[in-house]
């Protein structure tokens, strides 16, 4: 009982550490420009209002930044999953020459930071004529995230009982049908985890977007937030409101997909 209570307290402490910055951001977004510089600062400011959110959504380009980020993140995540799922499935279930080498190469590739590859990435995208396009950014995002996604999904495919594959083979199911109708429902927790991680990574990525995008109408949300800052004066309350707005889609995606994290990996498959 004591261990359980101590563990619960530890989890509450960790949750508080992660939540406090978000709550402070929310508090800052409800203040006026004069209230931002008040001392001592207060969590709940006098005259708190949603005026900063209204101004940000109607008088700035934040809605356009959100739209660009949504298109880039969702499309890049879909492309990543479309490439990673069959690759992880083959690497998990098949045995062929060079398999270990390929797995080692994928592991090495995911250890390389994209920042190190900014110059060659820019050169490749420029030759393709995709500089300052959302297509070029989505292509780079998907390419950089595929190795990690393959490794994550491969571990889930490895955990699927071999008896399911044998039963599907005896029933005459093809490999594609086995993957689509049997394996993917079982590894739904892995798909959800990989999808959420990729969406969050694409949504918050800054360096690649800064290098590959030039036009403000194509800026993603991180670049849009960066443009709020000025060399002489920054409206921190507006920046806080825009930052909190940027958090909402990621939180919503996690809430929508969180059930995949608690679902059993083979729940229902063995019973069936």
Q: State both tokens at 223.
A: 């670049």
Lowest-confidence region among 12-21, 55-64, 114-123, 173-182: 173-182
Highest mean pLDDT among 27-41, 83-97, 100-114: 83-97
Q: Across all residues in the chain, what is the average pLDDT?
A: 85
With contact defined as beta carbons under 8 Å apart, do 211 and 122 qualify? Answer: yes
Q: For residue 174, how far is the Cα from the chain centroid?
A: 32
The pLDDT tens digits of the residues spanning 148-194 come to: 899 889 888 888 888 887 887 877 777 788 888 888 888 888 888 88
Q: Which residues contact 86 (CB under 8 A, 6 or more apart)?
A: 179
The pLDDT tens digits of the residues spanning 213-245 come to: 999 899 999 999 988 877 567 788 899 999 999
- pLDDT score recorded for residue 263: 53
Annotate the chain with three-state secondary structure: CHHHHHHHHHHHHHHHHHHHHHHHHHHHHCCCHHHHCCCCCCCCCCCCCCHHHHHHHHHCCHHHHHHHHHHHHHHHHHHHHHHHHHHHHHHHHCCCCCHHHHHHHHHHHHCCCHHHHHHHHHHHHHHCCCCCCHHHHHHHHHHHHHHHHHHHHHHHHHCCCHHHHHHHHHCCCCHHHHHHHHHHHHCHHHHHHHHHHHHHHHHHCCHHHHHHCCCHHHCCHHHHHHHCCCCCCCCHHHHHHHHHHHHHHHHHHHHHHCHHHHCCCCCCCCCC
> Domain extents for the chain?
62-262
Q: For the beta carbon of residue 215, count every other beta carbon within 10 angstroms.
A: 8
User: Residue 135 — very low, low, confident or very high, per pLDDT cuts 50/70/90?
Assistant: very high
Q: For residue 220, how far is the Cα from the chain centroid?
A: 14
Look up the CATH number of domain 62-262: 1.10.3720.10
CA atoms within 13 A on the CB side of 255: 6
Q: For residue 257, how far is the Cα from the chain centroid?
A: 12
Higher pLDDT, 258 or 223: 223
Q: Is 90 exceeded by the pLDDT of residue 37? A: no
With contact defined as beta carbons under 8 Å apart, do 154 and 91 qualify? Answer: yes
- pLDDT score recorded for residue 20: 87
The mean per-residue pLDDT over the stretch 49-76 comes to 92
- pLDDT score recorded for residue 260: 63
Lowest-confidence region among 55-59, 128-132, 201-205, 259-263: 259-263
Distance CA 92, CA 60 (A): 48
Lowest-confidence region among 5-9, 51-55, 168-172, 221-225: 168-172
- pLDDT score recorded for residue 46: 75
The pLDDT tens digits of the residues spanning 67-104 come to: 999 999 999 999 999 999 999 988 888 887 888 888 88
Using a pLDDT cut of 90, give the percent of the chain over it. 35
Higher pLDDT, 251 or 77: 77
150: nearest Cα among 205, 83, 74, 78? 83
**Among all chains, which residue has been given the structure tokens 């491969």?**
154
Q: For the beta carbon of residue 101, count every other beta carbon within 10 angstroms.
A: 9
108: nearest Cα among 155, 154, 148? 148
């Amino acid at each position: 009982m004591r261990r359980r209570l101590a563990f619960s307290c530890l989890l509450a402490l960790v949750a508080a550490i992660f939540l406090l910055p978000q709550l402070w951001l929310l508090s800052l977004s409800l203040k006026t420009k004069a209230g931002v510089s008040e001392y001592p600062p207060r969590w709940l400011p006098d005259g708190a209002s949603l005026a900063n959110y209204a101004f940000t959504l109607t008088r700035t380009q934040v809605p356009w930044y959100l739209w660009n980020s949504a298109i880039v993140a969702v499309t890049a995540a879909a492309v990543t999953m479309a490439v990673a799922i069959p690759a992880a499935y083959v690497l998990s279930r098949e045995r062929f020459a060079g398999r270990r080498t390929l797995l080692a190469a994928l592991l090495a590739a995911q250890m390389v930071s994209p920042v190190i590859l900014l110059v060659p990435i820019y050169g490749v995208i420029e030759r393709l004529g995709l500089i300052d396009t959302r297509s070029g950014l989505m292509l780079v995002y998907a390419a950089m995230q595929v190795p990690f996604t393959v490794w994550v999904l491969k571990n889930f495919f490895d955990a699927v009982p071999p008896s399911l594959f044998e039963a599907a083979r005896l029933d005459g199911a093809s490999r594609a049908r086995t993957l689509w109708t049997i394996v993917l429902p079982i590894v739904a927790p892995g798909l959800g985890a990989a999808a959420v991680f990729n969406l969050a990574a694409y949504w918050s990525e800054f360096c690649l977007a800064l290098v590959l995008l030039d036009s403000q109408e194509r800026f993603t949300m991180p670049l849009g937030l960066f443009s709020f800052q000025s060399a002489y004066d920054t409206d921190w309350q507006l920046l806080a409101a825009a930052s909190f707005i940027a958090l909402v889609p990621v939180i919503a995606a996690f809430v929508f997909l969180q059930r995949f994290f608690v679902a059993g990996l083979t729940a229902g498959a063995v019973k069936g």
